[in-house]
Structures are given as structure tokens and as C-alpha cells.
Amino acid sequence: MRAIVGMAAAAVLVTAAPGTAHADPPPWRKLTSFFVTPYAPHQNDVIRVLLHCPDESNHAIVGSTAFPLKGSWLAYREVGVGLSGRGFGRRGIIISRYAPPGHHEVYMKCVKVTIDKATHLRKVKVLGRASAPLFVREFRVKQYF
């Protein structure tokens, strides 16, 4: 019974402020989070990255040592992800055949990119960061049969 009274009092407090035309956005709109599926792909598989960035951000960068390109000397690769107006984004990323098997970490940065029209200089402001584990298994031919 006490919880119901507390909830009713909170509802009264929320609706009791008639002078506020613009309320604060819900707290989940300011959170940074992302999800990588599947957790343990094979080499030469595709993973799906689902992410959410704060409303102010307009781009996300996802990077890992599990994404190297064929013939590249770089062990770490970053992939850009465009965001919707609410800060949601998704992207399929290929786990390279040349990615070393084992544990990897996938890092995400939410950024706000602004470009000066006169000088064409970019200004990048990092608004949020997150990471998730990823386990890459060895390539096997039988995974296709």
C-alpha cells in the first residue's frame, strides 16, 4: 500500500508544475549502450552491432582488433555507424578471415561532428564510450554445411 501512495504522490509532483513547457528528456535518452551479437562468431562471419548514443551525437565509431582487412598492416580497425534522430544505429561488420582467434574487445565512441563551412575543418567531440567482449573462433569449413 505504501508503494501505491508513493507513486501517486510522485504523479502529483510531476503534474503539479504547470509553468514548465519543456520538460527534461527521459534519462535513457542520455545513456550510451551497445550490443554485439553473436558473442562467439567464427572467422569470416558477420556480427551485428546495435547501439544507442545520447541525443546530441550524430555519429558512432566502433573499433576492434577483430575487424582487420586483408593485406592491412593495422591490427585495429574502426568502422563508422550513422545514427537516427533518436540516437539509435545498427551495422553489420565482417569478422575478417585474418582476425586472430581468441578474446577481443569491441569499443564504441559516440561523437558529435561539426564542420565549419568557411574553413571546412571538422570538430569532433566525444560524448560517450562503451565496450563489450567478443570471442572469435577459428574458421572451419563445416560451418557452411
Residue ranges of domains in the chain: 59-143
Output the pLDDT for position 20. 54
Query: How do the pLDDT tens digits run along the chain, 145 residues long?
Result: 344 444 444 444 444 455 555 667 777 777 788 899 998 898 888 999 999 999 889 999 999 999 888 888 888 999 999 998 888 999 999 988 888 899 999 999 999 999 999 999 999 999 999 999 999 999 888 777 7
Output the pLDDT for position 71. 84
Output the pLDDT for position 51. 92
Is the Cα dihedral 18, 21, 24, 28 positive or negative? Answer: positive
Output the pLDDT for position 142. 77
